[in-house]
């Protein structure tokens, strides 16, 4: 685990988004503290049982919310993209399934180990509810993890028959696992069948998801692998997958982002995500850590200790394998709830075969690790505090109090300086403030905030475009130097993603500002080939044709513009000018 932390720290040191890597490292340190505390403090089946029971207990309200959403769809968030699927508090079915799947093998193992019949019955009812909730997430990746977790538990029972529960309990456990699946079998079969998506309104002809979620995953995996190949040793930095993917994704995904506003925040494969963020060294460290802890679990199950403890170890091993199998198609282990479950259970497995004689000395180490975890969580909470400050600033912005919003977003940026979205929001509100008061100082503040956001995250072309638009919209403040700076930012943005028609159009405007009409014409031409509902480049080409004395070309561009937007006031004004 310490090697994994060291490799992650090295990747953060060379990160392309050091602020985000800082936040990710704090989260990793918190999880590391929990892992090492489990390794050094947990001894005996009693402590294993207590912690495992807490994991199941925490999952029950989560599953209850998911079941309520299934039976009462009005409880689902409005306008969500997953009709008919349980989302829980995560707002996304794959994340919900990834959390629930880790607790089912633990709940089953606890039911095998429980001595009290009422507690055993309660655990079996909880297992039934967890499996039913997992089924109605309709997450195929979570179902894969469910199968892997149950397989591990079954193999342990077959390998060591003395762990098998009594036949009646075994039959009841099988019923708790299989009945929800049988009740929902038609809808499960329908979900498993490979078919194109329902083509919602945001689907474009280039969208891979029109062929199904598998096609979208393959497109994302290709970009993630390309990112990993560019930085094979230490990756782009822990927590920076989005930025790494934006630099390395293929043409189809770049066009999809530019025209449909869609990209990927995760690799949809935990191992590709690690490879892109922390390189081959990070992936090797994670693989060795996992192999060692699963080896420790095998040692504990093969030992002659109490049957109760060995059954719990089998359940925890099933939980770990369920999470790892789900990681083949989603990267939810990067989330705090899922990552905490994984590393806490890895720590419990590593502690399972430990010699009790070492316990008194090692417990002080464990307490120290708990302190490390709490400190890391406390520092990481700055992100949450910054979000609260940003929410207050957004309220001021909604009420038209731009100056107060600027101050609020400034406070959020100081609390969490790694959040580029806070800096962008401050810049946008500073522009609003300038429009209200005509303040040149506010425009300079907006410029500084945009540049701060670019320094934090240089992979976002839209932030560069917004800075360029600031320069172009206020030549009285920024002058000719502003137009030249706008050119630099727009060219850098298009180098990252050439499919943004709006950025191509803004490049044409900037080129006109510096007097390069021919290059401007070519930029407008490229912009005109973009989104079919975007008329500005056509109108700009028409205006250039009018100024050049070519009415035939101008009328052609205006005709195309009116086909795209018959109500365009600027198109009608240019048509009237052309008639004159």
pLDDT for the residue numbered 524: 92
Percentage, residues of the chain above pLDDT 90: 47
pLDDT for the residue numbered 446: 92
Contacts 24+ apart (CB under 8 A), 515-523: 517/544, 520/544
pLDDT for 369 beyond 80: no
For 245-298, how does the pLDDT look when each residue is reduced to its tens digit (9 = 90+)?
Answer: 988 998 888 988 888 888 888 899 999 999 999 999 999 999 999 999 999 999
pLDDT for 505 beyond 90: yes
User: With 0-12 CB in 10 A as exposed, 13-18 as middle and 19+ as buried, what is 119?
Assistant: middle
pLDDT for the residue numbered 201: 46
> By mean pLDDT, which of 102-116, 212-226, 371-385 is the weakest?
371-385
Helix crossing, 270-302 with 2-13: angle to 10°? Answer: 170
For 178-206, how does the pLDDT look when each residue is reduced to its tens digit (9 = 90+)?
Answer: 999 999 888 888 777 655 555 454 567 77
What's the rounded Cα separation, in Å, for the pair 553 and 18?
A: 50
What does pTM read for this prediction? 0.83
What are residue 63's phi and psi, to 5 degrees? -65, -35
Compute, in degrees rounded to 10, the torsion defined by CA atoms 309, 311, 313, 316. Answer: -130
pLDDT for 357 beyond 80: no
What's the rounded Cα separation, in Å, for the pair 132 and 128?
A: 6
CA 33, 35, 40, 45 dihedral sign is positive
- Radius of gyration of the chain from its Cα atoms, rounded to whole angstroms: 28
What's the rounded Cα separation, in Å, for the pair 104 and 153?
A: 11
- CA 96 to chain CA centroid, Å, is 14
What's the rounded Cα separation, in Å, for the pair 455 and 458?
A: 6
Q: Would you say 297 and 139 are in contact if contact means Cβ atoms under 8 Å apart?
A: no
503 vs 78 pLDDT, higher one? 503
For 115-144, how does the pLDDT look when each residue is reduced to its tens digit (9 = 90+)?
Answer: 888 999 999 999 999 999 999 999 999 999
For residues 345-371, give the mean pLDDT.
68
Q: Would you say 138 and 191 are in contact if contact means Cβ atoms under 8 Å apart?
A: yes
Q: What is the mean pLDDT of the chain?
A: 87
Q: Would you say 324 and 274 are in contact if contact means Cβ atoms under 8 Å apart?
A: no
pLDDT for the residue numbered 178: 94
Centre a 10 Å sphere on the Cβ of residue 182 and count the other Cβ atoms it contains: 10
pLDDT for the residue numbered 303: 78
For 419-478, how does the pLDDT look when each residue is reduced to its tens digit (9 = 90+)?
Answer: 888 899 999 999 988 888 877 888 999 999 999 999 888 888 999 999 999 999 999 999
């Amino acid at each position: 685990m310490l090697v994994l932390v060291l490799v992650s720290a090295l990747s953060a040191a060379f990160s392309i988004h050091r602020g985000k890597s800082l936040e990710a490292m704090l989260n990793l340190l918190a999880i590391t503290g929990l892992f090492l505390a489990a390794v050094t403090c947990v001894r005996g089946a009693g402590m294993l049982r207590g912690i495992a029971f807490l994991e199941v207990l925490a999952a029950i309200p989560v599953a209850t919310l998911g079941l309520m959403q299934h039976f009462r769809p009005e409880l689902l968030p409005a306008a969500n993209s997953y009709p008919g699927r349980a989302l829980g508090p995560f707002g996304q079915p794959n994340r919900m399934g990834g959390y629930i799947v880790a607790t089912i093998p633990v709940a089953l193992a606890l039911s095998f180990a429980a001595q009290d019949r009422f507690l055993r019955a309660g655990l079996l009812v909880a297992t039934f509810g967890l499996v039913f909730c997992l089924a109605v997430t309709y997450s195929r990746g979570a179902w894969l993890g469910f199968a892997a977790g149950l397989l591990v538990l079954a193999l342990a029972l077959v390998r060591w028959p003395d762990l098998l529960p009594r036949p009646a309990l075994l039959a009841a456990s099988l019923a708790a696992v299989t009945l929800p699946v049988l009740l929902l079998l038609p809808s499960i079969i329908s979900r498993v069948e490979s078919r194109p998506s329902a083509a919602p309104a945001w689907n474009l002809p280039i969208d891979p998801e029109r062929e199904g979620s598998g096609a979208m995953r393959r497109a994302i995996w290709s970009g993630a692998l390309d990112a990993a190949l560019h930085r094979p040793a230490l990756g782009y930095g822990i927590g920076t997958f989005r930025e790494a993917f934006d630099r390395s994704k293929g043409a189809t995904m770049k066009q999809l982002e530019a025209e449909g506003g869609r990209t990927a925040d995760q690799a949809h494969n935990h191992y590709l995500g690690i490879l892109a963020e922390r390189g081959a060294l990070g992936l090797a460290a994670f693989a060795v850590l996992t192999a060692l802890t699963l080896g420790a679990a095998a040692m504990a199950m093969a030992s002659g200790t109490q049957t109760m403890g060995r059954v719990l170890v089998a359940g925890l091993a099933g939980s770990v394998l369920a999470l790892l199998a789900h990681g083949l198609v989603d990267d939810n282990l990067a989330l705090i709830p899922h990552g905490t479950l994984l590393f806490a259970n890895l720590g419990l497995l590593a502690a399972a075969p430990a010699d009790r004689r070492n316990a008194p000395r090692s417990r002080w180490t464990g307490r120290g690790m708990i302190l490390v975890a709490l400190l890391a969580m406390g520092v990481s909470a700055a992100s949450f505090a910054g979000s609260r400050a940003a929410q207050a600033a957004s309220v001021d912005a909604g009420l038209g109090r731009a100056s107060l919003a600027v101050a609020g977003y400034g406070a959020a940026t100081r609390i969490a300086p790694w959040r580029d979205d806070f800096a962008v929001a401050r810049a946008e509100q500073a522009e609003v403030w300038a429009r209200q008061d005509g303040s040149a100082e506010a425009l300079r503040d907006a410029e500084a905030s945009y540049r701060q956001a670019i320094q934090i995250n240089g992979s976002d072309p839209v932030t560069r475009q917004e800075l360029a638009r600031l320069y172009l919209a206020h030549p009285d403040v920024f002058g000719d130097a502003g137009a030249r700076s706008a050119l630099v930012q727009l060219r850098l943005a298009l180098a990252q993603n050439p499919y943004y028609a709006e950025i191509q159009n803004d490049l044409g405007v900037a080129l006109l500002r510096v007097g390069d009409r021919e290059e401007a014409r070519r930029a407008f031409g490229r912009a005109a080939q973009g989104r079919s509902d975007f008329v500005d480049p056509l109108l700009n080409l028409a205006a250039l044709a009018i100024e050049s004395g070519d009415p035939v070309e101008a009328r052609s561009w205006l005709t195309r513009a009116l086909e795209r937007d018959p109500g365009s006031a600027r198109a009608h004004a240019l048509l009237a000018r052309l008639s004159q």
